[in-house]
Structure 1
Amino acid sequence: MVRLSRFIRHIFVSTLAAGCVVASAPSHADDTNTWQSVKKAGVLRCGAAVAPPYVMRDAKTGEFSGFFADLCRNFGQNVLKVKVEFVDTTWDNIVAGLQSDKWDLSMALNDTPEREKAVAFSVPATESSVSLVYNKSNPKIPKGAHSLADIDKPGMTIAVMSGTSMDKAISAAIKQAQITRMPGSDETRLALMSKRADLLADESISNMLLTQGHPDWAVTIEPNPPLAEQGVSFAVRKDAPKADLAVLNDYLSAQVKSGAVNRLIKTSVQAMLVGNK
Structure 2
Amino acid sequence: MISRRNIATAIGATAAGLAAAGLVSSAQAQTPAAETTFDRIRRTKKLRIGAVAGAAPYYNKDIATGQWGGFYIDLSKALAEELEVELEIIETTWGNSVLDLQANKTDIFFGLNPTPKRALVIDFSVPVFNNAFTMIAKKGLGKKTWDEFNNPAVKITVDAGSSQDQVATRLCPKAQISRFKAVDEAATAVMTGRADAQCIVMMLSLTMLKKNPQLGELVVPTPVFATTSNAGFRREADKTWRDYVNTWLEFNRGLGLIRSVIIKNMEAVGITEADMPAGVTL
Per the normalisation by structure 2, the TM-score is: 0.76
Q: How does 1:59-138 map to 2 (within 5 A)?
A: 59-76=63-80, 78-137=81-140
For 1:157 and 1:201, locate their aligned partners in 2 and report how far apart those are by CA, in whole Å.
Answer: 10
Q: How does 1:229-244 map to 2 (within 5 A)?
A: 229-239=226-236, 241-244=238-241
The reply on whether 1:265 has 2:262 as its aligned counterpart is yes
Indicate if the aligned counterparts of 1:55 and 1:108 stay in contact, CA closer than 8 A. Answer: no
Q: Per the alignment, do residues 270 and 194 of structure 1 end up closer, same or farther by CA in structure 2, a change over 3 Å counting? A: farther
Aligned length: 238
Cα RMSD (Å): 2.2
Deviations 1:76-95 (A, max 9, x none): 1x221111111111222111
In the alignment, which of 225, 244, 259 is matched to residue 247 of structure 1? 244
Q: Give the letter for the 1:69 counterpart.
A: I
Q: Give the Å deviation of 1:180.
A: 1.5
Q: Per the alignment, do residues 193 and 48 of structure 1 end up closer, same or farther by CA in structure 2, a change over 3 Å counting? A: same
The reply on whether 1:180 has 2:178 as its aligned counterpart is yes
Match of 1:221 in 2: 219
Q: Give the Å deviation of 1:214.
A: 5.0
In the alignment, which of 162, 167, 176 is matched to residue 169 of structure 1? 167
2:132 is paired with a residue of what secondary structure? strand
Stretch of structure 1 that moved more, 104-113 or 42-51: 42-51
For 1:60 and 1:158, locate their aligned partners in 2 and report how far apart those are by CA, in whole Å.
Answer: 33
Indicate if the aligned counterparts of 1:31 and 1:37 stay in contact, CA closer than 8 A. Answer: no
For 1:166 and 1:33, locate their aligned partners in 2 and report how far apart those are by CA, in whole Å.
Answer: 32
Q: Give the Å deviation of 1:49.
A: 2.9
For 2:261 and 2:34, locate their aligned partners in 1 and report how far apart those are by CA, in whole Å.
Answer: 32
Deviations 1:124-147 (A, max 9, x none): 11121211011324xxx23xx211
Indicate if the aligned counterparts of 1:49 and 1:107 stay in contact, CA closer than 8 A. Answer: no
Q: Per the alignment, do residues 154 and 257 of structure 1 end up closer, same or farther by CA in structure 2, a change over 3 Å counting? A: same
Name the larger-Rg structure. Answer: 2
Q: Give the Å deviation of 1:41.
A: 1.6
Q: How does 1:140-155 map to 2 (within 5 A)?
A: 141-142=141-142, 145-155=143-153
In the alignment, which of 177, 190, 193 is matched to residue 192 of structure 1? 190
Indicate if the aligned counterparts of 1:192 and 1:200 stay in contact, CA closer than 8 A. Answer: yes
For 1:84 and 1:176, locate their aligned partners in 2 and report how far apart those are by CA, in whole Å.
Answer: 44
Q: Per the alignment, do residues 191 and 272 of structure 1 end up closer, same or farther by CA in structure 2, a change over 3 Å counting? A: farther
Indicate if the aligned counterparts of 2:191 and 2:214 stay in contact, CA closer than 8 A. Answer: no
Q: Give the Å deviation of 1:241.
A: 2.4
Any unmatched runs of 5+ in structure 2?
Answer: 1-32, 272-282
Q: Per the alignment, do residues 100 and 214 of structure 1 end up closer, same or farther by CA in structure 2, a change over 3 Å counting? A: closer
Per the normalisation by structure 1, the TM-score is: 0.78
Indicate if the aligned counterparts of 2:149 and 2:172 stay in contact, CA closer than 8 A. Answer: no
